[in-house]
Amino acid sequence: EPMTVFFCREIPTLMLRFQSEPAKLCLLLQLVSTLDWDDATIMNQHKKHVEDLLGRLKHAYSTHSDERFLEELSRCIHGLTASKTALTRQAAVLEQELMRDAIDHTTALLAQDTKTKDSEFALQAWLARLHFLSGYINVKDVEVVGNVPAALVALVMERTNLLDVAGPRLSSSCVRYAAHILFKEFLWSSVPLFDAIEDVSSPVDEALTTAMDAFVKRRDVLDVLLFRLLSVHLSEPVTRFTDHVVDTPELELTDDQIPYVNGLHETAFLLLSDLRCLCAQRFEAAVAPFNRLAYQPHKNLLMLSQAYYERIMEQDDDGNDGVRDRVVVALACTSLCNPQNKRQAASVLQQMTSDAFQPLVKAFGKRLMGVSVVKYLEIQMLSLQQSFEEASSPTATVDLAKVLNQSLGTKVPASVRGSLLKFMSEGLRYGLDAPENGSFLAALKPYLARLDKAGTKALHGHFVKLFAAKQGGDDEDIRLDPAVADMEALLSGEKDLVVAPPKPAATLKRARDNLSDDEGTSPRRTTTTRRSRNLSDDEADENDPPGTPPPQSFGRQQSPKARKPRAAAKPTSAAKEKDTQALSNKAHAAATPTPSTNESHNDSDNDAAAQPSKQPTKTPPSKTASGKKSHVTPTRRSTRSKVVVDLNYGEDSDEEPSRSARDEQEEESSPSRKRKPIDESATATTSKDEDDIAQGDDDDEVVGFRPKRRRQ
């Protein structure tokens, strides 16, 4: 309550202070909507502050013309009517009064024969106020003199004739506001009909039939207005009875007329989409009289809207202020409400390769897939065919196929495999239908990885039948198309899918850490190649090819000969007791050391030092590699493992020489054992870590799937 009282007292002053800044005024109006107006003490003890606030809102509504501010102000006033106190009645009275003033001023301005620049600006401002208020109050419910909808229809019919429109009329938005007001009046007339649909027990009486007749009549008026708005750029208006709409010549527009025409086209396209969403085609299956709610636009109207959609999508969105986004959203909503129109949904899916519409179109695809996966596959095939026919090269269609295939997810349900096979069969039929369609088969390659062996075999049989029908005919040139030959090789198994090779494991781990902006340039990412060695106890067979893993164990284990000296080097419990006894008697141990004990320790140290290490070392290579014996100083080794961090990993180091010297030393110690090098590629394919990392690799051909690795 204290917060509400404080802002109720201060907001009128703040609105007067920032009256020239619409952005700050919108924030103040949003603050009014968040206050608690259900407390009865506010109207009882602070009634004067509430009346001052309502007076300030009324004054602001009649003086400002900013669209955003008028929208927020209409929402704020209507929100006050939801209060549970006496404020509700005062807010409702204010709302009715503002609506009546807007209608009176609009009617008076429309009745003027000559309109100057000032009168045109005033008409635009009052139409904007009436437009936002009509969303909360029905124009028919306000008792005024005259017929406002009829006057607005006459205004639209007059302003759609470009030969009579000039001067300040071209820069105003009066036609756009008038069309929206008429559409909202049409929406108010549909309220009793949809209420009757929700109430199953309501009878179909004469009043309902009368309401349906009025609804259909208003919809027919809107249909005529949409024809005039979408054909404003043509030499003659288009109607239902116009033949050859495409051949109708266009007018030569001036620089002032182009934005005016584009604004009318956008308004008509958005209103047509809303009308089709409200009066969906599914009402055709309803009982009478509700089946009359279904709306099927005329083909001429659809052609005009399609022409505008194609024209606006070819333009850049730099100067359109989000027009393309609104157009795509409107078409997507129409496609969802009318799923029978697959071509419109296919037109939306074609924008999935665009960075500007990719999030929007992906959400649209998920919604379609949630409704029906089979229907989504049909729309994808239609979208690919449209893209192939419109694009100048098949590369754009292949890129679209990759993105559409990825939108299906990592794995399709088993119940959809039959539909997926039909999808591929339809693609083969279209690709082999004409010689110029042969390149379309390249767009089917991303989908091949989703087929199992049985599906691939069945698809190959269908391909053979279609391919055999082209022999000896006029379309025999299609056999020479590289895409057709490539598809035949893939289906027959003569050729595998070309996939991008997986990245090295170390490089992938470093890239996923995302600790540096450079990719692949750091010397730490370079891995030193190691020669694979067979460390098992079994000898390799002479007949086995290189790279064959040992039959039993393939881990890096120490041989028995190597483990024996290391076991001897570990201190035993008896030795520990001797060391403890020697430490307790330091003076005696230092004065008279035992020769046999020292010799035994030295022998043990020598054995431990002679054992070759399995870990890479930074110690310079000894001269044993050249055949000369060098004395090795015996040192005691600790049983704890040490971790050495090399900060110069990947740079020039002496790791390879020491490793080669160690390998030659091991070969000299066991000359009878023959070891064959193991192919590193075969080892990499059996490594579990690299398999896990390979699952995240991007695939250029098949998105979201990892093909099976061929066994070497």
Cα–Cα distance, 488 to 433 (Å, whole number)? 16
Q: Tell me the two tokens of residue 83.
A: 């209060």
- The runs of H, that is alpha helices, within 161-256 are 174-189, 191-198, 206-230
Cis peptide before 289 (omega within 30 of 0): yes
In 3D space, the residue among 492, 383, 483 whose CA is nearest the CA of residue 437 turns out to be: 483
C-alpha pair distances (Å), 108 with each of 101, 170, 303, 539: 11, 21, 38, 106
Cα–Cα distance, 401 to 391 (Å, whole number)? 13
Residue type, 562: A
pLDDT at 677 over 50: no
Q: Residues 495-515, buried b or exposed e (16+ Cβ, 10 A)?
A: eeeebeebbebbbbebeeeee
Q: Tell me the two tokens of residue 248.
A: 């109708």
Predicted local distance difference test score (pLDDT) of residue 616: 46
Are 637 and 569 in contact, with CB atoms under 8 Å apart? Answer: yes
Residue-wise pLDDT for 415-438, tens only, equals 888 999 999 999 999 998 888 888
| Predicted model pTM | 0.67
Predicted local distance difference test score (pLDDT) of residue 419: 92
Confidence category of residue 180, pLDDT binned at 50, 70, 90:
very high
Predicted local distance difference test score (pLDDT) of residue 555: 39
- pLDDT > 90: percent of the chain: 35
- pLDDT > 70: percent of the chain: 66
For the chain, the average pLDDT equals 74
C-alpha pair distances (Å), 646 with each of 614, 617, 643, 650: 17, 11, 10, 9
Predicted local distance difference test score (pLDDT) of residue 320: 64
Predicted local distance difference test score (pLDDT) of residue 322: 84
In 3D space, the residue among 650, 656, 346 whose CA is nearest the CA of residue 527 turns out to be: 650
Residue-wise pLDDT for 356-368, tens only, equals 888 899 999 999 9
Going from N- to C-terminal start, the domains of the chain cover 1-114+131-142, 147-300, 414-499
> Which DSSP string do the residues of 471-499 spell out, in sequence order?
TTSTTGGGGG-HHHHHHHHHHHTSS----
pLDDT at 43 over 70: no
Kindly report the backbone phi and psi dihedral angles of residue 190, in degrees, each rounded to the nearest multiple of 5, phi listed first.
Answer: -90, -5
Residue-wise pLDDT for 517-534, tens only, equals 334 443 333 333 333 333
Confidence category of residue 474, pLDDT binned at 50, 70, 90:
low
Are 1 and 44 in contact, with CB atoms under 8 Å apart? Answer: no
Q: Is 562 exposed, middle or buried (0-12, 13-18, 19+ CB in 10 A)?
A: middle
Residue-wise pLDDT for 157-177, tens only, equals 988 888 777 777 777 789 999
Predicted local distance difference test score (pLDDT) of residue 27: 92
Predicted local distance difference test score (pLDDT) of residue 468: 82
Confidence category of residue 390, pLDDT binned at 50, 70, 90:
confident
Predicted local distance difference test score (pLDDT) of residue 476: 57
Are 40 and 72 in contact, with CB atoms under 8 Å apart? Answer: no
Helix and strand counts by DSSP (H, E) for the chain: 29, 0
